[in-house]
Amino acid sequence: MTSLPVPDSYTLVAASAAGQTKLTAFDRALLDAGVGNLNLIRVSSVLPPGAAHRPVLSLPPGALCPIAYGTIASSAPGVTIAAAVAVGIREGSFGMIMEFSGECRKEEAEIAVRAMVDEAFASRGLPLDEVKVRSTEITVPEGKAACAFAGVPLWG
């Protein structure tokens, strides 16, 4: 049995954007997050052992990119939406990625993903060495749609 290669690099991205429709707002948020020209493959929440944090995503346009993400879109004027991701790291082991999106401020989204990382590590009986968080928020403008997106692309 063969499997896909295990990624050895990751980064955290987050961006919000407005557009004429929810889909175009999502597309703009992806572009602003630096993943808009990739083919995203949504994955669950395990960070491979030994994966290195890289500040910049390095993939050519059109590449297949595994990514754990949270996203929310709305067209309700005045509503604030947020998305956040957190990566829990245990040196010498695998890590966990948690994602959240909702009608809230980004600070609330950050609290939620941090709590999820804590619970995921506790469920596995692993000590937690470090947590990295990235978040974004946007208030939906009148006559537009908006999207908040946060993700953890994996590559290499």
Q: Which helix (H) or strand (E) holds 111?
A: helix 106-124
Q: Which residue, chain included where needed, has tokens 């500040």?
A: 55
Phi-psi region at 34: left, alpha or beta (left = phi > 0; alpha = psi -120 to 50): left
Domain boundaries, the chain: 10-53+63-155
pTM of the full predicted structure? 0.96
Q: What is the pLDDT of residue 1?
A: 63
Q: What is the pLDDT of residue 4?
A: 82
What are the 10-residue block averages of pLDDT along the chain, 156 residues in total? 86 98 98 98 96 94 97 98 98 96 98 98 97 98 98 96
How is residue 57 annotated by DSSP?
A: -
For 44, residues 6+ apart whose C-beta sits below 8 A from its C-beta are: 68
**Which listed CATH number (3.60.40.10, 3.40.50.970, 3.50.20.10, 3.40.50.1970) goes with 10-53+63-155?**
3.50.20.10
CA 85/CA 102 separation, integer angstroms: 12
| Residues involved in catalysis | 39, 44-45, 99
Nearest to residue 69, comparing CAs of 102, 46, 43, 33? 43
Q: What is the pLDDT of residue 128?
A: 97
Q: What is the pLDDT of residue 3?
A: 79
